[in-house]
Structure formats: C-alpha cells, structure tokens
DNA sequence: GAATAGTTTGGAAGAATTTGCAAGAAAAAT
DNA sequence: ATTTTTCTTGCAAATTCTTCCAAACTATTC
C-alpha cells in the first residue's frame, strides 16, 4: 500500500467514524502508530481533519452535518460488511431505491458508480451521490426530519408512489418471525411505497435488530426477497428464516 | 505491446483501482519497474494521474462537496452583503422559497432561524437548514444536477407547482432592461413555478450580472418586486430600473 | 541485407524519502 | 504529586526515486 493510499483510507475511516484512536487507525491501515501519527499531521495541514490527544476527529465544515449515525463507530465494521455484501447483490446498471438509515447509507457507499440510477429520500445519501457525477440521482420531495436528514411527509410518499426501480435497499428497526418493524412512524408510509415500487427487496439489518420489535409493523417476511446481515446474527433465527424460504446473506467482515 | 498501449492499460488499471503500486502495475503490464516509472512520469504530465511514493493514483477532481457554495470566493464580500440585505427584507415567520445558486445560498445563511418555513431545490441550502432544527424545511423532488447540487427535472417542477410561499429569493444569470435571464435551461421551468408560487419576489444579483444577458429568458422586470444587489452595480442601470418602477436595494458591504 | 543513428528498455549505484523504534518531554488521569 | 498515556524528536533500517549506462529494438540509409 502506498503512502497516499493509506492516507486516503485514514480519511475515509474517519469520515465514517467521526473519531478514531491512533491504535484503531494503525490497525485499520496496517501501519505503525508512528506512521499514522505522521499521516495525521500531514492530513491535518490540509484541513480535512483535526488531531486530538490519542487520535483524530473529522472537522466537518458546515454542510453534511446531520447527526445521523453513519458515524456510529460501534457497529461500523458490521455495517461496512453489510454494505459491501448488499451492494454486491445489485447488478451493474440497475436502478436502486435507497432507504434512509445508517445501514442503507453504508450500502450506498458501496454502490458509487455501480448502479445506474438511485432514488432516495435521505439527504446524506443524496450528498454522497451528488458529487459522483456519473449516476442519475433522484431525490424525493419532502420535509426534512431534522436530526436524521430524511425527507418525510406526504410529498415524499407521493414521490415514491410514482417511482419504480429494480431494487430497493431497505433498513428497519427490527425483524422477527412475524414480520419487519420500524420505529419511525413518519417513515412507514414512505417505506411501504418503496416496497411497492421495487421489483427486488433487499433488507439490510445488523445482528442487533434480530428478534427485536419496534413500534410499527412495516411488512411481512414474504415481502422481502433477500435479508443481508452480519455474521453475528443469531443462528437460530437465521435458520428459521431460511426454513421458511427467505434468502439470508451473512456478510463477512474482512480486514483491509 | 507498444508503449502507447502499455500506457493506456496503466491508465485503465488505475481508473478501476484508484491506487496502484509500481510492482502491481509492473506485473499487470509485463514491464519492468523502470519502464512503469517512466510511463507514469509521462502520463502525469498529461494530467490524468498523479505519481505518489511507491505508485500512482488517479487524479480525482475530488469535489466531494458541492463545488460551489462556500468555495466560491468570487465576489464573496458582495454576496455576503446581498445576503444580509435580502434577508432583512423577509419578515419573521414568513415562508420563503429559496432558489438554487450561490447568491441565494448567502441569503439562506442569513435566514437561519428567521423564516418560519423554507422551500428549496438546492441541496446545499437543504443541508444548511437541515441541522438547524427549528425551521420546517421542504425540499423539492428532482434529479441532482451534479456539480451544483440542484434538484431539477419534471419532479422538481411539479413540487413547486403545488407550493406557495410568502417570499421567493431568486437569483439569475443576468439582468437587463428587457428582462431577467438565466443560463441553465433546466432551471428555467422550476424558477417560473417558484415565481408563480410566491407573493413577493426578491431577486438577488451581484453587480457583475447587470447588463448581461444569458441564454434563456426567465421573466420580465414587472414580475420582480425587489432587486437586491451590491453597491458596485452600474448607476445608470439602477437609475433606469428605479425610473421604471422597480425597487432596488443596494447592499453595503460592512467591514471590520 | 548490412550498417548506422536514434529510441526504448531494464538494471544498478547513489541520493532522497519513508518507516518503525526508542528516549525524553508534555499532557491527561488518578 | 505521581502515574499513565501520548506526543515529539532523533536515528538507523528499509524502501523508493533519480540518474546514468549498456543492451535491445526500430527505422533509415547505403
């Protein structure tokens, strides 16, 4: 790995995690702490990040600062893996609906320049694709739900009622054997329209969502074509899902 | 394999991989490290890639944010002044339509927490208000026009056809005595709907736009209620505009 | 077809850069 | 105040870069 490449990966990692310790970064890029230190000082002078005691944090300008937790360093590796696995299920030049939510965001990261068209109601996702000029990105109308940067409300529902796509990348608050649930009431109507508008439904959930039930029922398991989760998902539930006919993909984390 | 062919393959490989070490490239094109080195120096001078220690990377335009907004230091002081002056014309708790474009963006900066509701088709503006959670921010549907982060197309037009507001903050490519013009054909239809949907039209232009005509006619001067510009606007045109009944506000830059 | 001039290729030696480590200084934590 | 952690600085080892050179190849001329 070249020095430039390493620095870019440090930047990327920080973009996702907001903060990272030297040890964490050192492990992630397979270089010594010293080297990471030097990289950080170098990157800092370009203004993209700020060094702190023990690590570094992103210096977010004024734009993309939705409090939404693509920056959740906690399940980062899992979501990263799920993102990669789910993106692999999308054929080049397919059109993709991307749900709001952190897991779907990670899928979006891996879809850059792969899908032909993307439809989303998530501002972070829109920002992500907005600069990658190769793809056609459709954003739904709607009112911004503040902290998450999601477009909600009747206008959003209406947009999705008019749009069809090959694949929908969905996330949710919980999955159990009697169906998929979500906690944000405002999102349910929109997600139902997404489900209606897509030919193939890919549901992305990290293992913590298994067996959980959120407040609102979103859809049944028959409405979902493929479930992508990480390898820590409870085996019994995975088995049960497969038993009843759902395709379940277990995403393997892989090191750099 | 000819030298040209080899260089082309190096370029192709880099396009896909983004980074590559010399060893990697050398193996891929079946040539010695030295030759690859020379090829890279040559290719670098054509600007398609950048050499790094140990390899090379594609020269990504890296417009990870939308190219314009804060980066555009062109006429920054003027736009700042215009932004302040135009924002002062908005009453608290009015609803405001905000056009795409750098000048309108500066108005938006001054409207934070002032207007009651904001409607926009500009992603930078949406991002701006998205985190300031007090206000209701409506975003239009549409396809992202890449480098500017503007939502365009029929979906955008449709959204604005349904929306009404007290004030519209508009920008344009040029103003002359026979009307207002803009250069982006895609925006014209949307802007017309904005004009129709607002009770009061505030047009914001820096002085360089005066006397200029862009490709597309947007509206007549009678459609505009107030024109906000900076103090360097040509006096003759300002006088002429006032003569014919337009209200013109000259924004004073205020320095330290 | 052979000889010659010019270009390209692969390699080697020395210069320059980068990397990892360790010791002392500085900063947080207790 | 002391202990622990982290940061800076200096240094030697390793890697990579530049520069030069000889061999191989191409094209031109006789």
Between B22 and A128, whose confidence is greater?
Answer: B22
Distance A6 CA to D24 C1' (A): 38
Mean of pLDDT over chain B: 88
Nearest to A108 by CA among A68, A60, A59: A68
pLDDT of A41 over the 50 cut:
yes
Taking an 8 Å cut-off on Cβ atoms, the answer to whether A2 and B55 are in contact is yes
All residues of chain A having their beta carbon less than 8 Å from the beta carbon of residue B21 are 1-2
Predicted TM-score (pTM) of this structure: 0.74
Q: Are A123 and A66 in contact (CB under 8 A)?
A: yes
Please tell me the distance from the alpha carbon of residue B232 to that of residue B250, in angstroms, as a whole number.
8
Taking an 8 Å cut-off on Cβ atoms, the answer to whether B19 and A3 are in contact is no
Q: What is the pLDDT of residue B177?
A: 92
Distance B71 CA to C3 C1' (A): 63
Bases of chain C within 7 A of a CB of the protein: 8-12, 17-22, 27-28
Using DSSP's 3-state secondary structure scheme, residue B55 falls into: strand
Please tell me the distance from the alpha carbon of residue B63 to that of residue B51, in angstroms, as a whole number.
20
Q: What is the pLDDT of residue B255?
A: 47
Tokens describing residue B217: 């006619």
Alpha carbon separation from B21 to B27, B36, B174, B199 (Å, rounded): 10, 10, 49, 60
pLDDT of A67 over the 70 cut:
no
Which nucleotide, over all strands, has the C1' atom closest to the CA of A3? C18
Q: How far is A209 from chain B (nearest CA, A)?
A: 27
The dihedrals phi and psi of B247, each to the nearest 5 degrees, come to -85, 125
Task: Provide CB contacts within 8 A for B148, sequence distance 6+.
Answer: B66, B67, B68, B100, B122
Q: What is the pLDDT of residue A183?
A: 85
Q: What is the pLDDT of residue B63?
A: 41
Residue of B nearest to A130 (CA): B146
Q: What is the pLDDT of residue A101?
A: 85
Q: How far is A6 from chain B (nearest CA, A)?
A: 10
Using one digit for the tens of pLDDT, what is the confidence trace for A125-169?
898 887 665 789 999 999 998 777 899 999 999 999 999 999 999
Domain B3-58 in CATH 3.90.660.10: no
pLDDT band for position B133 (cuts 50, 70, 90): low
pLDDT band for position B77 (cuts 50, 70, 90): confident
All residues of chain A having their beta carbon less than 8 Å from the beta carbon of residue B63 are 131
Using one digit for the tens of pLDDT, what is the confidence trace for B134-185?
789 999 999 998 778 899 999 999 999 999 999 999 999 999 999 999 988 8
At CB < 8 Å, which residues of chain A contact B?
Answer: 1-5, 8, 61-67, 123, 126-127, 129-133, 136-144, 146-147, 149, 151, 155, 159, 162
Alpha carbon separation from B80 to B67, B77, B115, B117 (Å, rounded): 18, 5, 18, 22
pLDDT of A73 over the 70 cut:
no
Q: What is the pLDDT of residue B15?
A: 81
Q: How many CB atoms lie within 10 A of CB B136?
A: 16
Taking an 8 Å cut-off on Cβ atoms, the answer to whether A131 and B63 are in contact is yes
**How many residues are listed for chain A in this entry?**
256
Q: Where are the domains of chain B?
A: 3-58, 69-251
Domain B69-251 in CATH 3.40.50.1360: yes
Please tell me the distance from the alpha carbon of residue A215 to that of residue A179, in angstroms, as a whole number.
12
């Amino acid at each position: 790995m070249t020095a430039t490449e390493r620095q870019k990966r440090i930047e990327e990692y920080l973009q996702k995690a907001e903060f990272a310790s030297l040890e964490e970064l050192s492990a992630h890029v397979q270089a010594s702490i010293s080297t990471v230190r030097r990289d950080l000082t170098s990157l800092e002078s370009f203004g993209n990040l700020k060094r702190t005691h023990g690590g570094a944090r992103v210096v977010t300008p004024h734009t993309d600062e939705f409090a939404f937790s693509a920056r959740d360093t906690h399940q980062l590796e899992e979501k990263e893996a799920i993102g990669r696995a789910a993106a692999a299920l999308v054929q080049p030049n397919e059109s993709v609906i991307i749900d709001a939510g952190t897991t779907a965001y990670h899928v979006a990261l891996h879809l850059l320049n792969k899908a032909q068209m993307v439809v989303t109601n998530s501002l972070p996702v829109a920002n992500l694709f907005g600069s990658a000029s190769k793809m056609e990105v459709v954003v739904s109308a709607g009112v911004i739900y503040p902290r998450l940067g999601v477009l909600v409300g009747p206008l959003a529902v209406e947009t999705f009622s008019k749009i069809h796509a090959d694949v929908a990348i969905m996330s949710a608050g919980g999955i159990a054997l009697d169906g998929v649930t979500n906690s944000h009431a405002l999102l349910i109507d929109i997600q139902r329209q997404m489900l209606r508008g897509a030919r193939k439904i890919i549901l992305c959930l990290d293992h913590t969502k298994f067996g959980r039930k959120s407040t609102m029922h979103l859809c049944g398991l028959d409405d979902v074509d493929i479930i992508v989760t990480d390898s820590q998902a409870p085996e019994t539930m995975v088995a049960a899902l497969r038993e009843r006919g759902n395709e379940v993909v277990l995403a393997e984390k892989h090191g750099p």
